[in-house]
């Protein structure tokens, strides 16, 4: 089959296959393995300190000379959040941890970290990054102008046709069409109800609307999904859950084992962990927060509130109190090396499309 298209030309890759950025799961070695295999690795840096961003970029560059993308959380936090909502949730969480014989330090409201994409941009541009993807929103006019001045190719996340139109009107070069099946955080950013359109309903509608390459994301786990996305008008695909159990994944052993046993109905959308809608596997932390009836703080405050216990649980390999983001088809993930997972995806796709 012929893999080359406008997207591969724009990205400088052999295959239009992108590894989704998964903060806390994606390692520099995973990013490099995908890029070295001919796809596009994606390094997540959303909300990280600029020094950490630079360190991660250098680590990836030490492992590959091939193109890779850096992924940003682009959003503007509200000027004021409800302190009572924060304090009430903190009090509940401390009780919950104690009831489960766990301990995590309380969070100081004034110390909640917020490292804006604006603070990260100078580091990213100075490092010579030429591919940037973003989610939660899109850069303002000044941000677009700065990125374009540095000849950076921009890939924005859309969960609706309307969002795709907004992205391209602002100057986005590639649209990532994220279906409701996708694991992790929703990229939704326009006001109104959360879009819940499936990948294979969303892709052709966005492809018919915009005049830039469209990348399908959500529920794609093998060559059948890649082939279907291509037929529906996608120029490429982005996959995250496919790599959740890879050797290079930062998920703990118990986390990976839990993902191996999930079915199509074992994930849910929740704001409990971070304050933003995200799809993952239900566990004690999600269940208890939702059952509390307490209002959930907006991101990044809710995210900051649950970070300490998630760190403790990860060290203990306790899946009851970590965020297990996963898509609806994540049970099909394989516990192989990233390179082998990628090679099998290429083989399967070629076999189907060459029939």
The per-residue DSSP string of 59-80 comes to HHHTT-SS-EEEEEE-----S-
| Residue ranges for the chain with pLDDT beneath 70 | 79-80
Token pair in block for residue 57: 């970029």
pTM over 0.85: yes
CATH number at residue 67: 3.20.20.70
Can you give the pLDDT at residue 114?
Answer: 84
Can you give the pLDDT at residue 1?
Answer: 74
The residue range of the domain holding 320 is: 80-112+251-330
Total domains in the fold of the chain: 2
Contact 245, 259 (CB under 8 A): yes
Can you give the pLDDT at residue 93?
Answer: 98
Cα gap 92→137, rounded to integer Å: 31
Token pair in block for residue 200: 């294979």
Strand-strand pairing, 131-135 and 153-158: parallel
Can you give the pLDDT at residue 113?
Answer: 82
Per-position DSSP letters for 301-327, written without gaps between them: HHHHHHHHHHHHHHHHT-GGGS--B--
Distance spanning both ends of the chain, measured CA to CA: 10
Q: Both 295 and 158 in a single domain? A: no
Can you give the pLDDT at residue 210?
Answer: 98
Q: Both 165 and 285 in a single domain? A: no
Cα gap 111→211, rounded to integer Å: 43
pLDDT digits (tens, 9 = 90+) for 299-346: 999 999 999 999 999 999 999 999 999 999 999 999 999 999 999 999
Q: Both 323 and 274 in a single domain? A: yes
Q: Both 197 and 326 in a single domain? A: no
Q: Both 320 and 341 in a single domain? A: no
Can you give the pLDDT at residue 355?
Answer: 76
Can you give the pLDDT at residue 245?
Answer: 98
Nearest to 292 by CA among 87, 84, 88: 88
Q: Both 122 and 7 in a single domain? A: yes
């Amino acid at each position: 089959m012929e893999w080359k298209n406008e997207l591969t030309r724009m990205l400088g890759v052999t295959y239009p296959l992108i590894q989704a950025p998964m903060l806390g799961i994606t390692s520099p070695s995973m990013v490099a393995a995908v890029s070295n295999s001919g796809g596009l690795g994606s390094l997540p840096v959303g909300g990280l300190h600029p020094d950490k961003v630079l360190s991660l970029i250098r680590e990836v560059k030490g492992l590959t000379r091939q193109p890779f993308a850096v992924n940003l959380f682009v959003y503007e936090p509200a000027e004021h959040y409800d302190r009572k909502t924060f304090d009430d949730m903190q009090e509940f969480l401390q009780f919950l941890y104690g009831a489960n014989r766990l301990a995590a330090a309380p969070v100081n409201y004034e110390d909640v970290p917020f490292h804006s994409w604006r603070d990260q941009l100078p580091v990213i541009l100075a490092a010579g990054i030429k591919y940037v993807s973003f989610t939660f929103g899109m850069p303002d006019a000044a941000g677009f102008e700065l990125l374009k001045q540095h000849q950076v190719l921009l890939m924005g996340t859309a969960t609706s046709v309307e969002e795709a139109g907004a992205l391209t009107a602002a100057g986005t070069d590639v649209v990532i069409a994220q279906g409701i099946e996708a694991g992790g955080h929703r990229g939704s950013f326009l006001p109104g109800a959360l879009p819940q359109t499936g990948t294979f309903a969303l892709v052709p509608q966005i492809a018919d609307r915009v005049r830039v390459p469209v990348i399908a994301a959500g529920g794609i786990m093998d060559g059948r999904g890649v082939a279907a996305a291509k037929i529906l008008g996608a120029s490429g695909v982005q996959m995250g859950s496919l790599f959740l159990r890879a050797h290079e994944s930062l998920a703990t052993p118990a986390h990976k084992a839990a993902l191996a046993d999930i079915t199509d109905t074992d994930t849910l959308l929740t704001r409990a962990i971070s304050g933003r809608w995200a799809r993952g596997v239900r566990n004690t932390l999600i269940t208890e927060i939702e059952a509390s009836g307490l209002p959930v703080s907006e991101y990044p405050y809710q995210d900051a509130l649950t970070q300490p216990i998630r760190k403790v649980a990860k060290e203990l390999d306790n899946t009851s109190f970590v965020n297990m983001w996963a898509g609806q088809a994540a049970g099909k993930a394989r516990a192989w090396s990233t390179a082998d997972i990628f090679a099998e995806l290429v083989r399967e796709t070629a076999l189907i499309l060459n029939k």
